[in-house]
Amino acid sequence: MFNVWTRSSLIRAGMTSRDITAAVRSGAIIRARQDRYRRADAPGSLVEAVRVGGRLGCVSLLAVLGVFVFDSSILHVHMTRGASRMRSASAPRQRLDARNQRRATRLHWHALRDTPSAGCVSVIDALIHAVRCQSPRHAIATLDSAIHHGLIGIERLPEVFAALPRRFQVLRGFLDARAQSGPETLVRLIALSLGFRVDLQVEFDGVGFVDLVLDGWLVVECDSREFHSSWEQQLKDYRRDKALAQRGYCVLRLTAADILYQPEAVLASLRGLLRGRSGMLTG
């Protein structure tokens, strides 16, 4: 996944001591710490994890791979039991990067299910740890995202849950392989909590796919700044909404920021629409 080599592994691959020295001096490879070398374009979080004396794991590894996680600001590092080159597990922070900025670090000591590489744990182990480190709803969104990105197949999900305590088994029933983003999963869970019937990635002729359709009448679109910030894209969105309205659908657009950081407002919006719909039908 992300290569980190020891000096002996580089020599076994055919490099000499002189080759290694030259590669470091030229910047082709970089020594992350004593007897640990990595590619010059390796992710910064990988370098930090190796400097701590462990492997990149949990939400930190998943974030590098493009999987949704709620918060990747803390560096998550898996440590081998009995490792000698590490910071104290009780120390809340450690200086890690080249600019001597402090970054919070969380150490993991759980036994690994898969054989790790020198620099990071496997995706399966990262997911197992991420479920334990996040709230249930964010853990579900992370698992949905990993499936969507093809990093884990549905057939391997039993391996993840087999390594988790029994209390996490309930999460499995909420996973949906159709989900295409973390915010979409979070809205789906909110809608389910309100009793909505939820359909994902529904296609409409002349409109295309929409993120969610609730109870067959409410379309919910989860917009991110990355894909909806330009005026051209906003015009396209308005025209899609108009076409859906002409077919009798109500459209609610939510920003990813609101979904992630103001879930109570999203809940209130959906509840208000549901209440208004019920009043219209009974009035």
Domains of the chain by residue range: 43-134, 182-282
Which of 48, 105, 57 minimizes the C-alpha distance to 80? 57
Q: Are the beta carbons of 226 and 255 closer than 8 angstroms?
A: no
| Pick from 7-11, 68-72, 222-226: least confident | 222-226
Q: Are the beta carbons of 69 and 39 closer than 8 angstroms?
A: no
Q: Are the beta carbons of 196 and 270 closer than 8 angstroms?
A: yes
Cα–Cα–Cα angle for 121, 127, 133, nearest 5°?
Answer: 105
| Rg of the Cα atoms in the chain | 23
CB under 8 Å to 229, separation ≥6 — which residues?
none
Which of 1, 160, 133, 156 minimizes the C-alpha distance to 69? 133
Class of domain 182-282: alpha beta
**What value does the mean pLDDT take over residues 77-86?**
71
Look up the pTM and report it.
0.83
Residues forming a β-bridge with 222: 254
Which of 220, 202, 215 minimizes the C-alpha distance to 256? 220
Q: At what angle do helices 123-133 and 136-148 cross, to 10 degrees?
A: 160
Residues forming a β-bridge with 218: 214, 250
Cα–Cα–Cα angle for 106, 109, 112, nearest 5°?
Answer: 120
The string of pLDDT tens digits covering residues 98-150 is: 433 457 899 999 889 998 887 889 999 999 999 999 999 999 999 999 999 99
Q: What percent of the chain has pLDDT over 90?
A: 60
Please say whether the dihedral angle defined by the alpha carbons of residues 272, 273, 276 and 278, taken in this order, is positive or negative: negative
Q: Are the beta carbons of 128 and 163 closer than 8 angstroms?
A: yes
